[in-house]
Amino acid sequence: MNFGSDNVAGAAPEIVAALEAANRGAAMPYGNDAVTARLDKIFADLFEHPVAIFPVATGSAANALALAALTPPHGAIYCHAEAHIQNDECGAPEFYSGGAKLVPLGGKDGKLVPADLASALESAGIGIVHHVQPASVSISNETELGTLYRPDEVKALADVVHRYGLKLHMDGARFANAIAALGCSPAELSWRAGVDALSFGATKGGALAAEAVIFFDKTLAEGFAYRRKRGAHLFSKMRFVSAQLEAYVKDGLWLKLASHANATAARLAAGLARLPGVELLHPVEANEIFARIPERAIEGAFADGYYFYKRGDVNEAGARCRLVTAFDTRLEDVDGLLASLARHLGAGARRAG
């Protein structure tokens, strides 16, 4: 019963089945296959807009390649201090961009604030040769703290981004969770809100290894095919990556899977909120929960066979923990974890009593 991350889950059966189907017969390599050829239309329909789509196999590849396309080596990429690109990709964006600088900004619950972004850009020294030049802004939706930007919030940021001549990138490793939770259309949360490039994630949502870089302005994709090949992210048997993406969005599978993850997270969050001594640290809007939990309860739950991330920051009230649900999280495991925590908290309370 592993609540450590949504990438501890395997792959959805529909996607495995698609792999098997894609395995029939020969196919031209490097994306010149029939499945990959279909992706343009499939995603243009999904986003109600022409797109330039480039399948890759890791989220870091999607982010780093997309940001490199939007940012020159002497450029700056603005993001939240909690952003995955800033903290968890070992400098992949710097590597792919040729040494651009990431500029971390604050913001409640993992979300950038338009006014703060504007003042940061205002004082960045645009046009002054001594300073790296602001080129792009990257936001994650679902954010790294489990919260969501609404379309109008994205729009408000995009207005600042574009006013200063920058481009807006969205890290959509959990884009499905955001769409499923907000009930808006992919278009509303992306290009209509001002997103220029999207890292569309499928791996965390139920694929084996499939992501896509999506440009809504094809001129931004110039040279991108070479960047991807040069980064060694062009697959010879590309059909096996493309087939995952096709199956993932077919008949709304991606939203069905994400809705389940969101629903189990909601159930888990509600239960945690009722536990004495457990504190939710951020609004739970999709499939990630951040909570402060007394140490004894954490250890007890781990001993009972449950797992989730215990972060460094610890105080007398407990440790900051991250719990994530996935497309295949079982309700009984959610309830089991809640019961385990309750039992160990109660025991503690009794000992304290």
Judged by DSSP in three states, 141 sits in: coil
Cα gap 210→200, rounded to integer Å: 9
Q: Please report, as a single letter, which amino acid is at residue 311.
A: R
Which residue, 46 or 261, is less far from a copy of itself as judged by CB?
261
CB of 192 to a copy of itself, least distance (A): 29
CB of 110 to a copy of itself, least distance (A): 17
Strand-by-strand arrangement of the 288-293 sheet: 279-280, 288-293, 318-324, 309-315
CB of 208 to a copy of itself, least distance (A): 5
> 161-185: buried (b, 16+ CB within 10 Å) or exposed (e) per residue?
beebebbbbbbbbbbbbbbbbbebe
Strand-by-strand arrangement of the 197-201 sheet: 52-56, 211-215, 197-201, 167-172, 133-140, 75-80, 101-105
Which residue, 13 or 252, is less far from a copy of itself as judged by CB?
13
CB of 228 to a copy of itself, least distance (A): 8
Cα gap 103→338, rounded to integer Å: 39
Q: Following DSSP, what letter does each residue of 63-104 receive, concatenated?
A: HHHHHHHH--TTEEEEEETT-HHHHSSTTHHHHHHTS-EEEE
CB of 129 to a copy of itself, least distance (A): 5
Which residue, 26 or 352, is less far from a copy of itself as judged by CB?
26
Which residue, 60 or 193, is less far from a copy of itself as judged by CB?
60
Which residue, 87 or 185, is less far from a copy of itself as judged by CB?
87
Which residue, 60 or 278, is less far from a copy of itself as judged by CB?
60
CB of 308 to a copy of itself, least distance (A): 12
